[in-house]
Amino acid sequence: MLVEINSQHPEPRKIARAAHVLREGGVIAYPTDTVYALGVDLGSKAAIDTLYAIKRMPREQPLAFVVPDLSEVARYAVVQDFHYRFIKHLVPGPYTFILQATREVPRLVMMKRKTIGIRVPDHAVPRALAKELGRPIMTTTATHPTDGEVLTDPSDINDLYGGVELVLDGGFGEALSSTILDLCNEEPKLLREGAGMERIDQLFGVHRALEEPDYDG
């Protein structure tokens, strides 16, 4: 079901409706500052299983966490002092940070490396939604189920994903995913160049990794 939403000032009743779907174990789609995302409640194993199934993702591929602000980053991820300033300059923004997980992260979403990818998008809808939910949104990029192409039209997401109960339509999305930064060591490592690279180049120098990242979003 498509529900139009104001991207700048999302209507509280629509945010509450989407959060209710998440709490009931449903899958939603929503706009971010980069691509459209598919999301479920962190606390629902059944919803997480459904998300993997409809996205046709291997279980080894982790989902990213979407949280409303920097304080929630520190709740679910270990943020060392030498990275706090780095993150503070970049959130909210189109970045996914790979960090060591805290004990707040349920085992059902914990990967072998005990790390998580976490985001604070520069977009009012996902931040309001995560705040209303009271827990992170487990998320992955909305892509075409067969060819993997990023879906920018929420109507296409609604048509192609029968398992998605609610699509928050904030207009056409971007086709460029978030930039992924590994902050598990003292020196930040760039795993994927995406949106917002110009800000990183202006503020910081980061080591560019050769390996492919697991996370998307």
Contact 47/146 with Cβ under 8 angstroms? Answer: no
3-state SS, residue 213 = coil
What are the residues facing 179 on neighbouring strands? 95
Distance CA 157, CA 144 (A): 8
pLDDT score at 210: 43
Between CA 122 and CA 185 the distance in angstroms is 25
Q: Give yes or no for a contact between 7 and 123, defined as CB atoms under 8 angstroms apart.
A: yes
Task: With both helix axes pointing from N to C terminus, report the angle between 12-23 and 124-133 in degrees, rounded to the nearest 10.
Answer: 50
For 13-56, what is each residue's pLDDT tens digit?
Answer: 999 999 999 999 999 999 999 999 999 999 999 999 999 999 99
Q: Beta strands of 14-133 (E only): which ranges?
A: 28-30, 37-41, 64-66, 95-100, 115-119
Give 199: exposed, middle or buried? Use CB within 10 Å, 0-12, 13-18, 19+: middle
Domains, in order of start, for the chain: 2-208 (3.90.870.10)
Per-position pLDDT tens, the chain of length 217 = 999 999 999 999 999 999 999 999 999 999 999 999 999 999 999 999 999 999 999 988 899 999 999 999 999 999 998 888 889 999 999 999 999 999 999 887 877 779 999 999 999 999 999 999 999 999 999 999 889 899 999 999 999 998 999 999 999 999 999 999 999 988 888 999 999 998 888 776 665 554 555 566 6
Q: Quote the pTM value.
A: 0.91
Distance CA 56, CA 40 (A): 15
What pLDDT is recorded for position 217?
63
User: Cα separation of 116 and 170, whole Å?
Assistant: 27
